[in-house]
Structure formats: C-alpha cells, structure tokens
C-alpha cells in the first residue's frame, strides 16, 4: 500500500519527529511504500492564492502539484502535528487549504454549487492523526471540546470519503519523562501496525 505521511513541526528535536521515525519504520517493516513530507523542512507554501481556489484552476506550483498527486495515489494517510490553540500549525492548515481541494479530494454533484453534500474522491480508506499536546484530557474535552477531533474527523477526512479514522493524543509532553515517551512511541507503532498491517 502507498501510505502518505505528513509531518508538521518546526523543531527537529520535538516528539513529533520521534513519532514520525517510529511510524515510518513500522510502515517499512510492514512492507508499505511510504511518501513522506516534512512540511517545514520542505518550506511548503501555506498561502492559498486566489488563482488556486477554483476547481479547474491551473496550478503552476510544482510542489503543490506533487502534493496533490501524492494524496491522490495514497491508500492511507498519517498526519503528525502538535496541538496549537486547538488547531494544526498554520503550515498544515495551509496544506489542507491547498491540497484538500475540489477535484482532488472531493467534489459536489452536478448542479450543486457547493452548498450540498460533498462526494469524497480520495482513494485512501484509512487515516491516522497523531497529536502531541500540553493540555490535560479533562480540560481539553470539557473546556475546549477537542476541536482537533472535529477538524480532522468531520471537516477533513469524512468530507473526503475516508471511512476509517483513528486519532491518538500524547500528553502532557512538556512534563513527560523518557519512559513515558518510549511507551508512547510503542503505542504509535502499535496503532500504525494495526491500521496498516503487514501486506505479505
């Protein structure tokens, strides 16, 4: 299977990078083909320009063309990012704006001008989001209502027709010790292997 892995964290020493390493190693172990994008390292341009908005827009940015092709070919998607203000980092929000686009990730039925129910176009059937956070679970749920769950499950992946959604949150990272982080990495590898098992 072709698995797309998207990493969005500006700090190469972050736990997100450790998660990406573990996830990629597990996918390799299970004989999957991996397409990996480190958005900060690639300096992905997150700004959606007016000319790029229409479904039939002529896209001239080679990086954007590549990202659109990669997500179209993917059988599965894994996204790794920190929780910043209940949102993904701006570079990842921009990636959603530009790559999760009409004609690539979804479309509306003929005669529907965009006010109806979308038809998902993504080939992928499963997606995992790994989040790091410094907010406790009770506060995240009761005070903030866990907006990342709504963003990824309902607003992105359900919208694009991905049937199986999984999300794992690791918290509180800022006070975690080495053993806790190693346990979390094992949990991430286990979930990755469960959703994308060995293809042999």
Q: Where are the domains of the chain?
A: 2-195
Q: Where is pLDDT greater, at 13 or 112?
A: 13
- Torsions phi, psi of 165, nearest 5? -120, 135
Q: Where is pLDDT greater, at 5 or 146?
A: 5
Question: What are the tens digits of pLDDT across the range 147-170?
Answer: 898 999 999 999 999 989 999 999
Do residues 72 and 107 make contact, with C-beta atoms less than 8 angstroms apart? no
Question: What are the tens digits of pLDDT across the range 52-77?
Answer: 998 889 899 999 999 999 999 999 99
Which CATH number among 3.40.50.1100, 3.40.50.360, 3.90.1200.10, 3.30.1330.60 corresponds to the domain 2-195? Answer: 3.40.50.360
pTM: 0.93
Q: Where is pLDDT greater, at 132 or 110?
A: 132
Mean pLDDT of 166-188: 94
Range with top average pLDDT, 31-40, 116-125, 146-155: 31-40
CA distance 34 to 2: 6
Whole-number pLDDT of residue 146: 83
Do residues 4 and 199 make contact, with C-beta atoms less than 8 angstroms apart? no
Question: Is the predicted pLDDT of residue 118 greater than 90, yes or no?
Answer: no
Which residues, other chains included, contact 178 with Cβ-Cβ below 8 Å and sequence gap of 6+?
Answer: none
Whole-number pLDDT of residue 18: 97
């Amino acid at each position: 299977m072709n698995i797309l892995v998207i990493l969005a964290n500006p700090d190469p020493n972050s736990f997100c990078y450790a998660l990406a390493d573990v996830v990629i190693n597990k996918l390799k172990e299970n004989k999957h083909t991996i397409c990996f994008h480190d958005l900060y390292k690639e300096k992905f341009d997150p700004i959606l320009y007016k000319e790029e908005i229409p479904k039939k827009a002529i896209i001239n940015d080679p990086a954007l063309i590549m990202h659109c092709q990669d997500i179209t070919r993917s059988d599965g998607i894994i996204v790794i990012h920190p929780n910043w203000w209940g949102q993904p980092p701006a570079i990842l929000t921009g990636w959603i704006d530009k790559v999760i686009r009409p004609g690539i990730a979804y479309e509306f039925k003929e005669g529907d001008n965009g006010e109806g129910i979308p038809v998902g176009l993504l080939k992928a059937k499963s997606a995992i989001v790994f989040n790091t956070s410094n907010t406790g679970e009770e506060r995240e749920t009761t005070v903030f209502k866990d907006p990342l769950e709504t963003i990824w499950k309902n607003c992105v992946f359900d919208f694009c027709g991905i049937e199986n959604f999984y999300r794992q949150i690791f918290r509180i990272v800022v006070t975690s010790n080495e053993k806790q982080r190693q346990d979390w990495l094992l949990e991430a590898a286990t979930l990755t292997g469960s959703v994308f098992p060995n293809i042999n």
